[in-house]
Structure 1
């Protein structure tokens, strides 16, 4: 649920008070009237004000069912993969903006959200990659529309591996959100401590949402109200909420998420964008690759690890500009009248 639970690229600083707004983008923070009490301020929000529909993708020959959220009806497909401990709903606010010009599909990965598989604890990069490929083929068959793979943190690694396989036709773009191999690999030794130090149990959804903003790492209250409930489950024995995904039990897979990621990213033949929340994160391979113009890089200031949640309007604009500048359309054709391409 919090950035550092997945791959602690940097230490997140908890908000000093519930009214602290220095890390917020004014356009992305919902109104907070003084008369609101805590129960109202942090109450869960439904997804259907942001996505248009949800669906279950049943995988033939197995009991695996993957949950997806969809928005938009025209344009290329922005296929979103969340980070470990998050869910597809972490893209809800962004999807509500992107869908004006493109379609959005956000998938709950294995062991997350509403997806259900034969082994929810198998979060190996090979299994996660196979899941995404299978879901894409089940949805679109052999003739998918133009696809832009967008992956956050662990999901960024999955997106890179899917793109590198070159088994899905019409993948015309790859966007990796706030994950770099070098920093991630060096941070793995701290993961268990970070996981054990986070709050483990919540008496209500409201308390979990409040903690995620005040003591965790999400900056946007509205996004937290949508996404956080999908990362929790009710523990009948303890009569409280706890995490849907037991990340601490998946340590054997962590190294595989990030090892060799930079070279694999650079080897992907489609247009690529690396979106970061800080400037000190490029490892040697990516630094050289950027100097050679092999990918576009943007740094989003004043945000935490979950860029798509903290500043959804800016995130949506970046994705749409990426589509426009690379002339990605339903079948690889430029869509007119998108936002003006950004300068690099």
Structure 2
């Protein structure tokens, strides 16, 4: 729980995609753009993509998947990002576990009846609905991993205690105190970003050169999904209009520290700086209620800036807590982390 997802949004956060199932809008890139910033396809890192339709609704959520064995690392991205924010790290994590990264409503290739409803309750229900559609009533062991806004969703999903096999919770760079304190600056931050790009390559270049993302390969695969082509303006714009979600910002972070601390599963908090830790978490960390790691030389998007290190931290968390494909493994015994009441 650290700086706001939105505060640091990668330069790309579009509105609603021209097509829910196009990762890169079908428009020719300008030939002047350097190959250094050319888009990379998701299939370089994930094994497959799929669309998950939610029964009795018109909502369709796009997911990317990697790996075939082990527990499921279920990834929730930050505001303005997409599931591809975890692409490069997923290609490493899949050696030890399965990875599922979903595009939240209003982001990436997902399409819903209301892409602007980014309330914490709605997004929690979306995540639970996708997990249910993928695994039914008997899911494998699941480790929720959430970055920034996605970290808030992960914490709230864990707090509901409805996932029968929740085995771990990993929150990436979002802390209640820091996030709420940053809200007053959000609109200014969003409006100060470059709003239009002549090509996807230019958007990737702007993101990397501006320091929003520090890993070129990750930016090349994740940035395109945060854009859409605007025919009226003849340019690329953000897929997600975060400035229109202001009414929900406070709800994402209020009470987050206490909810995180109260979750009965193993917990890991990854931060880009110690200044992000608030009082409640400082006390909780001293009491040994969760594991905390400060990842040096990285920006807000830890999973993108240092994907190899991030993947190692996730797989070490799984090993340290002996999380197997069906739940927590105890020598000579296997049992789920949670049992249904």
Q: What TM-score does the superposition give when structure 1 sets the normalisation length?
A: 0.87
Deviations, residues 287-322 of structure 1 (Å, cap 9, x unaligned): 110111000000000000000000000000000000
2:186 corresponds in structure 1 to 191
* CA–CA separation in structure 2 for the residues paired with 1:8 and 1:210: 16
Q: Which moved more, 1:195-204 or 1:325-334?
A: 325-334
**Contact 2:5 2:149 (8 Å CA) reproduced:** no
* CA–CA separation in structure 1 for the residues paired with 2:33 and 2:132: 44
Alpha-carbon shift at residue 284 of structure 1 (Å): 0.9
Deviations, residues 222-243 of structure 1 (Å, cap 9, x unaligned): 0000000000000110000000
* 1:136-215 correspondence runs (5 A): 136-215=131-210
Alpha-carbon shift at residue 143 of structure 1 (Å): 0.5
Partner SS, residue 58 of structure 2: coil
Alpha-carbon shift at residue 7 of structure 1 (Å): 3.5
Alpha-carbon shift at residue 91 of structure 1 (Å): 0.2
1:30 corresponds in structure 2 to none
Gaps of 5+ in 2: 11-31, 332-341
Alpha-carbon shift at residue 272 of structure 1 (Å): 0.2
Alpha-carbon shift at residue 138 of structure 1 (Å): 1.0
1:32 corresponds in structure 2 to none
Alpha-carbon shift at residue 8 of structure 1 (Å): 5.2
1:288 corresponds in structure 2 to 283
The one of the two structures with greater contact order (alpha-carbon pairs below 8 A, sep at least 6) is: 2
Alpha-carbon shift at residue 5 of structure 1 (Å): 5.9
Residue 268 of structure 1 is aligned with which of 255, 263, 280? 263
Partner SS, residue 6 of structure 1: coil
Alpha-carbon shift at residue 174 of structure 1 (Å): 0.1
Residue 102 of structure 2 is aligned with which of 104, 107, 117? 107
1:57 has 2:57 as partner: no
1:225 has 2:226 as partner: no
**Contact 1:5 1:195 (8 Å CA) reproduced:** no
* 1:36-115 correspondence runs (5 A): 38-115=33-110
Alpha-carbon shift at residue 282 of structure 1 (Å): 1.1
**Contact 1:87 1:108 (8 Å CA) reproduced:** yes
Partner SS, residue 324 of structure 2: coil
Alpha-carbon shift at residue 334 of structure 1 (Å): 4.0
**Contact 1:8 1:191 (8 Å CA) reproduced:** no
Alpha-carbon shift at residue 4 of structure 1 (Å): 6.2
Deviations, residues 187-244 of structure 1 (Å, cap 9, x unaligned): 0000000000000000000000000000241000000000000000001100000000
Off by >6 Å, runs of 4+ in structure 1: none
Q: Which moved more, 1:141-150 or 1:213-222?
A: 213-222
Deviations, residues 117-161 of structure 1 (Å, cap 9, x unaligned): 000000000000010011111111110000000000000000000
1:6 corresponds in structure 2 to 6
Residue 312 of structure 1 is aligned with which of 307, 314, 326? 307
* CA–CA separation in structure 2 for the residues paired with 1:200 and 1:176: 29
Backbone CA RMSD of aligned residues? 1.6
Alpha-carbon shift at residue 39 of structure 1 (Å): 1.9
2:118 corresponds in structure 1 to 123
Residues matched between the structures, number: 308
* CA–CA separation in structure 2 for the residues paired with 1:66 and 1:235: 22
* CA–CA separation in structure 1 for the residues paired with 2:56 and 2:179: 35
1:303 corresponds in structure 2 to 298
Gaps of 5+ in 1: 13-36, 337-344
